[in-house]
Amino acid sequence: MKGAKYDKNILVEFKGRIAQKKRIEQYIKDTLRHFIPRLRRVVTVNIIVSSTLEDNCYGWCLGNRNEIDIELARSSGKDSFDLDYMMLNLAHELVHAKQFLTGQLSPCHFRWKTKDYKNTAYSRTPWEREAYKKEEWIYETFWLEKTLQKA
């Protein structure tokens, strides 16, 4: 597998219960390697799985150039999420992880590259627009296609 020798550079740690941790770990590594193929430093991705998140969020991501924290919800309001839907949510958060790791998005938020977005609706910020644009492709390419290959 292309880039497999750099798997050791991306450390994935889990907190909370979730099925198929090894498969999810590979999904994270494949996605990040796609977006940052020349990543040579060690980065840590912490995945926290919670029953629900504040404001009924599906997930969130914070980080810097070396460490990423992603929290995923099992449910929001009355809706419970199956593993596939959680992986679609994770795809969205992995775009943000890429943005933090490459320095595009600042950890203090509302800074994208060199521009300030404090007066922009969150859904219209460039980092959210990119995440929504790429989440389905990531999910289909690195999660679903792997499922179909094994079937």
Mean pLDDT for all residues in the chain: 90
- Rounded to the nearest 10 degrees, what angle do helices 83-101 and 126-138 cross at? 130
- What is the pTM for the complete model shown? 0.89
Per DSSP, what are the bridge partners of residue 61? 70
Q: Which amino acid belongs to residue 112? A: W
Quote the CA–CA distance of 93 and 138 in Å, as a whole number. 11
**pLDDT exceeds cutoff 80 at 75:** yes
User: What's the pLDDT tens digit per position in 3-56?
Assistant: 555 578 999 999 999 999 999 999 999 999 999 999 999 999 999 999 999 999
63 Cβ neighbours under 8 A, 6+ residues apart = 69, 96, 97, 100, 101, 107
**pLDDT exceeds cutoff 50 at 105:** yes
Tell me the helix, strand and coil percentages in the chain, rounded to 5: 45, 25, 30
